[in-house]
Amino acid sequence: MDHEREAAEAEPPSSGAALARPVFPTTVKERERTAAFPQSERARAFRRRHFPQASAEDWNDWRWQLRQRIRDLAGLERIFRLSADEREAVARQTGPLPVGITPYYASLFSDVDASQPLRRTHIPVGDEYLRMPGESDDPLGEDHDAAVPGLVHRYPDRVLFLTTGFCSTYCRYCTRSRMVGGGGEYTFNLAQWQRAIDYIAAHPQIRDVLLSGGDPLTIATDKLEWLLSRLRAIKHVEFLRIGTKVPLVLPQRVTRDLVRMLRRYHPLWMSLHVTHPDELTPEVAESTARLADAGIPLGSQTVLLRGINDDIDTMRRMMHALLKLRVKPYYLYQCDPITGSSHFRTPVETGLAIIRGLRGHTTGYAVPHFVIDAPGGGGKVPLLPDYVVGRDGDDLLLRNFEGQLYRYHDPALTCASA
Ligand code: SF4
């Protein structure tokens, strides 16, 4: 399998000189910068064991990481001792949401323990083939709200721009599993980008564009710049955002060249898809530091996953570690009812208990918003534990983080209705 060709083809095709593919890395300086990316002891040991031909420089080259992704049963079995369930599930896999794991990210997985949290998020198991009531391939109704192909216009002042169907790794609970990894009916190309740009230009109420996918940071730097520059040229677009998992699963992609390009398009914010504290390695400290140093405000988005991050201690450790990396915990999502995801989903009460365990017990900045993305396109609905107990005359009855009751004199309701 020609992984480089496959990775390149997954990006929107070039059209004209403005989108020519860069050669990477070519100059001595560029190679020095690539080699300078930190490599943890764990990653080094993994490389020597499983990729003995690869140099440190290869390992730190994000295109090498993409070319060497683990994508099939043979690739997995070369590294991991698979359970019978995993082996069968991988053998059955066809269509969208293929297996895809960068060597770097695989180095964080247990090679023997199929229950290890990160490993569970990326190696399929048989439960993935169960279809439970309430699940669907497009639970958020994004296709219904698409103004033009690849552009979801649900909220009045902002749009979701689906830039590519390619990701460096494929999460088994992906809300967009219908469209990522190829094999489906969705296509992403320059003509489609242009139609989306034209739509945004024709709608002055759109002030905020969120680029997502797939993962926009897998797009070649010059193509991504082409898109950002076209969006930035639209006067009423005030604010650009990128949703990505790349800084966590392919941190080497956050090259100084990429960051230099991104900082030209401020105000540009970034939402990082973070799953577990095990992801927060020295490499990720470097990728997030580069982005933060470029003035890009960073927020995290986490899907609540059963047996993976659904306890207070794991969440607290993760939120504290994120703050140290200058990433503000932003959203904690109830796992969407995507087809085949029931083994990942927790009761809603689990998320509420986590918020109860964080709010008041630690820094307010460390507490994300817990939300359900309402099925069918209802948008994000925030969920809070019951801190307001009720009213007693002019008093509002409140429960604090320690469970104690307090009164707040609040006659406003009575006055207003008098
Ligand atoms: S990185 Fe995001 S879009 Fe890609 S597979 Fe994971 S959840 Fe889906």
Query: pLDDT tens-digit profile of 65-74?
Result: 999 999 999 9
Atom of ligand 1 nearest to the CA of 167: 4
d(CA 184, CA 164): 13
Give CA–CA dist 87/90, Å, rounded: 5
pLDDT tens digits for 105-150? 999 999 999 999 999 999 999 999 999 999 999 999 888 889 999 9
Q: Is 152 in the pocket of ligand 1 (CB under 6 A)?
A: no
pLDDT at 9: 37
| Residue 91 identity | A
pLDDT score of 64 more than 90: yes
* Ligand 1 centre distance from Cα of residue 411 (Å): 48
Instruction: Provide the residue ranges of all domains of the chain, joining segments of one domain with +.
Output: 3-129, 146-382, 388-417
Residue 170 Cβ inside 6 Å of ligand 1? The answer reads: yes
> Residues 162-187: pLDDT tens digits?
999 999 999 999 999 998 987 666 77
Least confident of 2-11, 295-304, 366-375: 2-11
Contact predicate 46/107, CB 8 Å: yes
pLDDT value at 3 more than 80: no
**Nearest ligand 1 atom to alpha carbon 249:** 1
Question: What distances in angstroms separate CA 178 from CA 94, 187, 243, 361, 411, one per listed residue?
Answer: 12, 12, 18, 39, 52
Please say if 154 is a catalytic residue. Answer: yes
Average pLDDT in the 29-44 region? 75
Is the pLDDT assigned to residue 326 strictly greater than 60? Answer: yes
Say yes or no to pLDDT of 93 above 60.
yes
> Which range (7-11, 104-108, 411-415) has the least confidence?
7-11
More confident residue, 119 or 213: 119
Which pLDDT score, from 0 to 100, does residue 185 have? 67
Position 413 scores a pLDDT of 59
At residue 34 the predicted structure's pLDDT band, cuts being 50, 70 and 90, is: low
Does any ligand 1 atom lie closer than 6 A to the CB of residue 343?
Answer: no
Q: How confident is the model at residue 77 (pLDDT cuts 50, 70, 90)?
A: very high
Instruction: Give me ligand 1 centre to Cα 172, in Å.
Output: 8
Confidence of residue 35 (pLDDT cuts 50, 70, 90): low
> Which of the pair, 270 or 181, is modelled with greater confidence?
270
Residue 13's pLDDT is 31
181 lines ligand 1 (CB under 6 A): no
- The response to whether residue 167 sits with its C-beta less than 6 Å from ligand 1 reads yes
Percentage of the chain exceeding pLDDT 90: 83
Residue 335 has pLDDT above 90, yes or no: yes
- Average pLDDT of the chain? 90
Atom of ligand 1 lying closest to residue 170 CA = 5
Q: How far is the CA of 165 from the centre of ligand 1 (A)?
A: 9
Query: Is 50 exceeded by the pLDDT of residue 337?
Result: yes
pLDDT at 380 (0 to 100): 93
pLDDT of residue 2: 35
How far, in Å, is the centroid of ligand 1 from the Cα of 124? Answer: 14
CA dist list (Å): 166 to 255, 292, 331 = 19, 25, 23
pLDDT confidence bin for 27, thresholds 50/70/90: very low
Contact 125, 119 (CB under 8 A): no
Q: pLDDT at residue 323 above 70?
A: yes
Cα–Cα separations (whole angstroms), residue 414 to 149, 202, 267, 294, 389: 50, 47, 44, 51, 18
The whole-number pLDDT of residue 12 equals 35
CATH assignment of 146-382, given 3.40.50.2000, 3.20.20.70, 3.30.1130.10, 3.40.50.970?
Answer: 3.20.20.70
Catalytic, 380? Answer yes
Nearest CA to ligand 1 atom 5: 170
Q: Is the pLDDT score of 92 beyond 80?
A: yes
CA dihedral of 288, 293, 298, 304, whole degrees rounded to 10: 20
Active site residue 336: yes
The better pLDDT of the pair 5, 92 is held by 92
pLDDT value at position 96?
Answer: 79
Q: Is 356 in the pocket of ligand 1 (CB under 6 A)?
A: no
Among 31, 71, 154, 306, which one carries the catalytic annotation? 154
Q: Is the CB of 178 under 6 A from ligand 1?
A: no
What is the pLDDT at residue 187? 76
Q: Nearest CA to 101 among 116, 123, 82?
A: 123
* Element (DSSP H or E) covering residue 370: strand 369-374
Measured between alpha carbons, how far is 209 from 261 in angstroms, rounded to an integer? 18
CA of 57 to the centre of ligand 1 (A): 27
CA 150, 154, 160, 162: dihedral to nearest 10 degrees? -20
User: Is 129 marked active-site?
Assistant: no
The residue whose CA is least distant from atom 6 of ligand 1 is 171
The atom number, within ligand 1, closest to the CA of 177 reads 8
CA 229 to CA 272: how far, in whole Å?
22
Atom of ligand 1 minimally distant from the CA of 243: 2
Task: Say what the pLDDT of residue 90 is.
Answer: 97
